[in-house]
A and B are shown apart, each in its own frame.
Chain A
Amino acid sequence: MDDLRQKYLEAIAGAGDEAALEDIRVAAVGKKGEVALKMRELGKMSPEERQVMGPKLNALKDEINAALAARKEALGDAALDERLKTEWLDVTLPARPRPAGTIHPVSQVTEEVTTIFADMGFSVAEGPQIETDWHNFDALNIPPHHPARQEFDTFYMHREEGDERPPHVLRTHTSPVQIRAMLAQGAPIRVIAPGRVYRSDYDQTHTPMFHQIEGLAIDRDISMANLKWTLEEFCRAFFEVDEVELRFRASHFPFTEPSAEVDLRCSWQDGRLKVGEGDDWMEILGSGMVHPKVLEASGVDPNEWQGFAFGIGIDRLAMLKYGIPDLRAFFDSDLRWLRHYGFSALDVPTMRGGLSR
Chain B
Amino acid sequence: MKFTLSWLKDHLDTTASVDEIAEALTDLGLEVEGIENPLAKLSSFTLGKVKKAEKHPDADRLRVCVVETDEGDKQIICGAPNAREGITVVVCKPGDYVPGIDVTLSVGKIRGVESHGMMASERELELSDEHTGIIELPSGEVGESFADWMAKNQPEKVDPVIEIAITPNRPDALGVRGIARDLAARGLGTLKPEKTAQIEGKFPCPIKVTIDDDTREGGCEVFMGRLIRGVKNGPSPAWLQQRLRAIGLRPISALVDVTNFFTYDMNRPLHVFDADKVRGNLRVHRTRGGETLIGLDEKEYTFPAGAVVISDDHEIESIAGIMGGLRTGCTEKTVNVFLEAAVWDTIQIAKTGRATKINSDARYRNERGIDPEFNAPAIELATQMIMELCGGEPSDVVTAGEVPDVSRAYKLDTDRVVSLVGMDIPAGEQRRTLEALGFRLEGDLAHVPSWRPDVMGEADLVEEVARIASLTKLVGRPMPRAHVGVPKAVLTPIQKRENIARRTMAALGYNEAVTYSFIDKESAGLFGGGADVTMLENPISSEMSHMRPDLLPGLLQAAARNQARGFMDLALFEVGPAFDGGEPEESHLQVAGLLVGGTAPRDPWGSRRPADVYDAKADAEAVLSAIGAPAKQMILRDAPAWWHPGRSGRISLGPKNILATFGELHPKVLDRMGVKGPAVAFTLWPERVPFPKSTGATRPALAASTLQPVERDFAFVVDAGVEALTLVNAAQGADKALIESVTVFDEFHGAKAEAQMGAGKKSLAITVRLQPRDKTLTDAEIEAVGAKIVEKVAKATGGALRG
Contact = CB atoms under 8 A, between A and B. Distances in A.
A18 B423 CA distance: 96
Nearest to B492: A124
A123 interface: yes
Given A101-B509, A106-B514, A107-B502, A306 B419 contact: yes
Of A147, A247, A338, A344, most B-chain CB atoms within 10 Å: A147
B477 interface: yes
B562 A335 contact: yes
Interface residues of A, number: 101
Interface residues of B, number: 102
Interface string B742-767: 00000000000000000000000000
A249 B27 contact: yes
B570 interface: yes
Contacts of A221: 419
A277 interface: no
Provide the main secondary structure of the chain A interface.
Answer: mixed
B463 interface: yes
Interface stretch (B1-9, B83-91, B464-472, B724-732): B464-472
A57 interface: no
Contacts of B503: 103, 345-346, 348
A99 B508 contact: yes
Contacts of A226: 422, 476-479
Contacts of A252: 29, 167-170
A58 interface: no
B513 interface: yes
Given A248-B472, A250-B29, A118 B489 contact: yes
B514 A104 contact: yes
B631 interface: no
Contact of A99 (B169, B482, B509): B509
A102 B459 contact: no
B516 A331 contact: yes
Contacts of A132: 584
B476 A228 contact: yes
Interface in A93-138: 93-94, 96-104, 106-107, 111, 114, 118-124, 126-132, 135
Interface string B549-568: 00000010010011001010
Nearest to A225: B422
A223 B420 contact: yes
Contacts of B707: none
Given A155-B538, A157-B537, A224 B471 contact: yes
Contacts of B577: 129, 196
Given A223-B421, A258-B467, A334-B561, A249 B347 contact: no
A276 interface: no
Contact of A103 (B460, B502, B533): B502
A-B pairs with the 3 shortest C-beta distances? A99-B509, A225-B422, A223-B422
Interface of B: 26-29, 31, 167-170, 346-347, 350-351, 354, 367-368, 419-423, 457-460, 462-463, 466-467, 470-472, 474-479, 481-483, 487, 489-492, 495, 499, 502-518, 532-540, 544, 547, 555, 558, 561-562, 565, 567, 570-573, 575-577, 579, 582-587, 600-601, 603-605, 607
Given A129-B577, A345-B506, 8 more contacts: A118-B487, A120-B487, A123-B490, A124-B495, A132-B584, A158-B582, A333-B513, A334-B562
25 contacts: A94-B603, A97-B601, A100-B509, A102-B506, A102-B511, A104-B512, A111-B499, A124-B491, A124-B492, A128-B587, A155-B537, A157-B535, A157-B536, A168-B584, A225-B477, A230-B479, A249-B472, A250-B466, A257-B459, A257-B460, A289-B420, A306-B420, A333-B572, A346-B507, A348-B503
Interface of A: 93-94, 96-104, 106-107, 111, 114, 118-124, 126-132, 135, 144-148, 150-151, 155-160, 167-168, 170, 188, 190, 196, 198, 200-202, 208-209, 217, 219, 221-226, 228-232, 246-252, 254, 257-261, 289, 291-293, 306, 330-336, 338-339, 342-346, 348
